[in-house]
Amino acid sequence: MKVRLSDYRSDWVRLYRDEAALLSTIFGDEIVRFEHVGSTSVPGMKAKPVIDMMGIVRDIESIDRYNDRMRLLGYDVAGEWGIPGRRLLRKGGEDRTHHIHFYQIDNPHIERHLIFRDYLRSHPEEAARYSGFKEELAERFEHTSAYSPAKKAFVSEMEQLALAWFAGRYPIGPFIEVREPDEEQRRQLIESIGGIAVRLRQAVEGAGAERLNAPYRPGGWTVRQVVHHLADAGMNAYIRFKRGLTEDRPIAGTFREDLWAELNDYSETPVEVSIMLLEALHVRFAILLTRMQPAEFQRSVTSPTHGAMTLDAALQRYVWHAQHHIAQINSSIYRK
């Protein structure tokens, strides 16, 4: 297939969404979610005009049952195509339009794709460097059979930079929902909420103004901002739960955390105030949660950032969020 390198086109997002909507009607409950990945998912980046999509599924073997139907839609079925546990489907023949990479939800390649995409989205200068390299290769190689292998070493090096960036930003890894948790798993999550303020206080114990006002990583929030953010996030989560229990699938409110972090109460309030606020809040939160019946955890709220989610998922996300930020404070960058 010939190399077709194009400037970024805003309609690539629409083409991804349209195909994701179509495939959702075909695969139904097999799909956990779709993700737009690859170069066409990075604004401003040059790319072959082929929409790379990742389909995250519950059972990878089940995807094979849809092969005949996908062929009728113009896809060719390539199987694993060199990556164990993947199912690759390609649409458009020589005039390729879409690549669908299906992975089971526990496949480690999912994280690799998403980290690389998010790194490029967060670092326009790196996206520009990658675009320039692809332009050089496109001038040297006419066909993808030579073009794709030639960029492998460059991409591998950039992936390592992305992984290092991710490790600093997400020290405990990304949030992964446990679907259908049992009562013991819920009990452990609720119990862990009571320890959040304790661990947060331990993380900042003995820290003077210089450390509290230093970013936990280059370009990140200061430790002081992270502590106050946790208090705001806790209050928001508590209200979200109460609305989820008393309203029918409410749209849960969010807040401009980036702008809130710049307000003067973040810079002038002692961190102990927010830690004490969390201690008191979590007493009430724990009482609310421990009295909930299993069926109530299946009630749902709609988040502007995360979409529809059950209260089971909201509980898991809240605990992960707190542990994530405490780990940032405890990171090596902060301790230097």
**Count of all residues that appear for the chain in the document:** 336
Neighbour tally for 203: CB within 10 Å: 21
* Cβ(70)–Cβ(89) below 8 Å: yes
| Spatial CB neighbours of 281, under 8 Å, sequence gap ≥ 6 | 231, 234, 235, 238
The predicted structure's pLDDT at residue 192: 95
Query: How is residue 222 annotated by DSSP?
Result: B
The predicted structure's pLDDT at residue 332: 47
How far apart are alpha carbons 155 and 227 in whole angstroms?
36
Q: Write down the residue that tokens 């049992």 correspond to.
A: 182
For 86, the enclosing helix (H) or strand (E) is strand 86-91
Report how far apart, in Å, the C-alpha atoms of 41 and of each of 138, 266, 282, 315 are. Answer: 20, 35, 39, 30
The predicted structure's pLDDT at residue 162: 92
The predicted structure's pLDDT at residue 103: 97
Strand boundaries in 217-310, DSSP class E? 300-303, 307-310
Full pLDDT tens readout for the chain, 336 residues: 788 899 999 999 999 999 999 999 999 989 999 999 999 999 999 999 999 999 999 999 999 999 999 999 999 999 999 999 999 999 998 889 999 999 999 898 999 999 999 999 989 999 999 999 999 999 999 888 899 899 999 999 999 999 888 887 788 888 888 888 999 999 999 999 999 999 999 999 988 898 899 988 878 899 999 999 999 999 999 999 999 999 999 998 889 999 999 999 999 999 999 999 999 999 999 999 999 999 999 999 998 877 889 999 999 999 999 999 999 898 744 444
How far apart are alpha carbons 237 and 306 in whole angstroms?
13
Q: Write down the residue that tokens 């604004």 correspond to.
A: 43
* Cβ(49)–Cβ(9) below 8 Å: yes
The predicted structure's pLDDT at residue 307: 80
249: left (phi over 0), alpha (psi -120 to 50) or beta: left
Q: Write down the residue that tokens 């929902």 correspond to.
A: 177
* Cβ(299)–Cβ(311) below 8 Å: yes
